[in-house]
Amino acid sequence: MAVTSRNVVADYFVRFSHEVGDPITNLKLQKLVYYAQAWHLALQGERLIADPFQAWVHGPVCPPLYQRFRPYGWNPISESVERPALPDAVEAHLREVMEVYGGFSAWELERLTHAEAPWRNARGDLAPDEASTRVISEDDMRSFYAARAAA
């Protein structure tokens, strides 16, 4: 399967959130896109998006996607986006990510990623509030979430 654009994946989550009346912030969006990538690596053995995630203080972040929505700060994303045309398998995958993680708040998703090995491994010995651009290993993501899927 071809890699999907980070913006298309983000647009799916933003549009979905608007349709169900559940505002989404940049913080929450970052975690949903991260989980979409992580589970795609685990279940399909390949990337969903080409961009790496970095282990920032508040959890995994895709920097170009962060920059796109940065003007919203901590506020809900109000940008009007069209529902992207996606292959059925990708749309089903993203819908499943929303079903599993969409009900969590941004803060809960941040806490969840902080408790998981891929983000922790990338952070290493950094202080909790220390800025970082360390990349979260896709191999760590694949093996961690594949093990969770098998459990």
CB atoms within 10 A of CB 22: 13
The residues, ordered by sequence, that sit 6+ positions from 111 with a Cβ below 8 Å of its Cβ are none
Which pLDDT score is estimated for 2?
A: 60
The yes-or-no verdict on residue 1 having pLDDT over 60 is no
Which pLDDT score is estimated for 125?
A: 96
Which pLDDT score is estimated for 42?
A: 97
Model pLDDT for residues 38-63, shown as the tens digit of each residue: 999 999 999 999 999 999 999 999 99
Mean per-residue pLDDT, 125-150: 97
Q: What span, in angstroms and rounded, lies between the C-alpha atoms of 144 and 96?
A: 18
- Please report where in the chains the tokens 């009346």 appear, as a residue: 21
The residues, ordered by sequence, that sit 6+ positions from 32 with a Cβ below 8 Å of its Cβ are 13, 24, 97, 98, 101, 102, 109
Mean residue pLDDT of the chain comes to 96
Model pLDDT for residues 8-45, shown as the tens digit of each residue: 999 999 999 999 999 999 999 999 999 999 999 999 99
- Tokens representing 36 are 């979409």
- CB of 127 within 8 A of CB of 108? no
Q: What span, in angstroms and rounded, lies between the C-alpha atoms of 83 and 132?
A: 33
Work out the burial of residue 138: count CB atoms within 10 Å of its CB; fewer than 13 is exposed, 13-18 middle, 19 or more buried. Answer: middle
pLDDT bucket at 4, cuts 50 / 70 / 90: confident
Mean per-residue pLDDT, 99-107: 96
- Among left, alpha and beta (phi > 0; psi -120 to 50; other), residue 73 is left
